[in-house]
Amino acid sequence: MNAGPARRPKAKAAVRPKMKSNDGARTAHEQAYEALRGMVLAGGFQPGDVLTLRSLASQLGLGAMPVREALKRLTSEGAFEALPNRSARIPTLNRRQVEQILDLRQQLEGKAAYLAAKNVTLVQIEHLRSVQSEMASCIPKGDLREYVAANMAFHFEIYRIADNPVLLTLIQALWLRMAPLLASTISTFASDRKMLSRLGTTHHEQLLEAFQHRDPLAAEAAMREDLVTPTRFPGYWEAVELRSSTPVRKAASHR
């Protein structure tokens, strides 16, 4: 009879510290995951970039353990490839892989634009216009980092307006794979302002017009065209194949 009551306080004392520790660990892991995923989505890396665990932990201001767990998670999602010696690489996609991903993106992101055209409000349209203006203003300044960030903000605002969480999750997964290639493409054509304008202005304006007229089909068509425009630039596919055949470079810290 006395054994039961004696054990209960001891069990509580043992459980509480462990729960607090795990909660803290999960917070650090999630923080590392969100930060690292955000860097990939925003074009912070390019295909073939090799990154060490130490350099990433230093950049993020986090411990090695949560960064290592974030890397494992993002590797399983296709954003990184695991390498020896506590390092990872941004994948280099070949032409077939890019075509397959783009086909899926056209279907999913086209659908999101279609839904957004039905849901969008005038306030949201004006917000999208302001983001697009920010993106356009980056071209004459040659501010590629802000250009890429504004492009991502424009697209994901549309996907949020679509109001389909499952669709958004699938789109994010494909962006994780393609964002580094887009950043590399933008860098390649950085000196050609006309190309940059064509890359991020023409179809965005068509999207805005479709939203203004509440035209789902036109919005879907404009989004599909926007996604494949880079592939029509001279030398695009040659550059893709060249990157996919380039040997792994020595691990280096992120620029």
CATH number at residue 172: 1.20.120.530
pLDDT band with cut points at 50, 70 and 90 for residue 7: very low
13's CB contacts (< 8 A; 6+ apart) are none
**43-75 residue pLDDT tens:** 889 899 999 999 999 988 888 999 999 999 999
Domain co-membership, 163 together with 182: yes
Average pLDDT over residues 134-154: 87
Domain final position from 66, 91, 116 = 91
12 in any annotated domain: no
pLDDT band with cut points at 50, 70 and 90 for residue 27: confident
16 in any annotated domain: no
Whether the pLDDT of residue 145 is over 50: the answer is yes
Question: Among 236, 233, 138, 144, which residue's Cα sits nearest to residue 190?
Answer: 144
**187-229 residue pLDDT tens:** 776 666 666 666 667 899 999 999 999 999 999 999 999 999 8
Q: pLDDT value at position 203?
A: 92
Domain co-membership, 78 together with 128: no
Domain that holds residue 212: 95-244
pLDDT band with cut points at 50, 70 and 90 for residue 89: very high
pLDDT band with cut points at 50, 70 and 90 for residue 170: very high
39 in any annotated domain: no
Angle at 54 between CA 22 and CA 85, to 5 degrees: 100
pLDDT higher for 17 or 156? 156
6 in any annotated domain: no
Query: In degrees to the nearest 10, what's the CA dihedral of 71, 75, 78, 84?
Result: 110
Question: Among 137, 152, 156, 223, which residue's Cα sits nearest to residue 182?
Answer: 152
Whether the pLDDT of residue 16 is over 50: the answer is no
The CATH number for 61's domain is 1.10.10.10
- Tell me the pLDDT of the chain averaged across its residues: 84
Helix (H), strand (E), coil (C) string for the chain: CCHHHHHHHHHHHHHHHHHHHHHHHHHHHHHHHHHHHHHHHCCCCCCCCEEEHHHHHHHHCCCHHHHHHHHHHHHHCCCCEEECCCEEECCCCCHHHHHHHHHHHHHHHHHHHHHHHHHCCHHHHHHHHHHHHHHHHHHHHCCHHHHHHHHHHHHHHHHHHCCCHHHHHHHHHHHHHHHHHHHHHHHHCCCCHHHHHHHHCHHHHHHHHHHHCCCHHHHHHHHHHHHHHHHHCCCHHHHHHHHHCCCCCCCCCCC
114 in any annotated domain: yes
Q: pLDDT value at position 189?
A: 67
Q: How many domains are there within the chain?
A: 2
Return the structure tokens found at 29: 């892991």
Q: Answer positive or negative: Cα dihedral of 25, 26, 32, 33.
A: positive
pLDDT higher for 123 or 19? 123
Q: Answer positive or negative: Cα dihedral of 188, 191, 195, 200.
A: positive
pLDDT higher for 42 or 156? 156
Domain co-membership, 69 together with 108: no
Q: Answer positive or negative: Cα dihedral of 136, 230, 232, 244.
A: positive
pLDDT higher for 245 or 129? 129
Average pLDDT over residues 105-134: 97
- Give all strands of the β-sheet with 81-83 in edge-to-edge order: 50-52, 87-89, 81-83
252 in any annotated domain: no
Whether the pLDDT of residue 250 is over 60: the answer is no
Rg for the chain, CA atoms, rounded? 22
Question: Among 36, 172, 44, 153, which residue's Cα sits nearest to residue 104?
Answer: 172
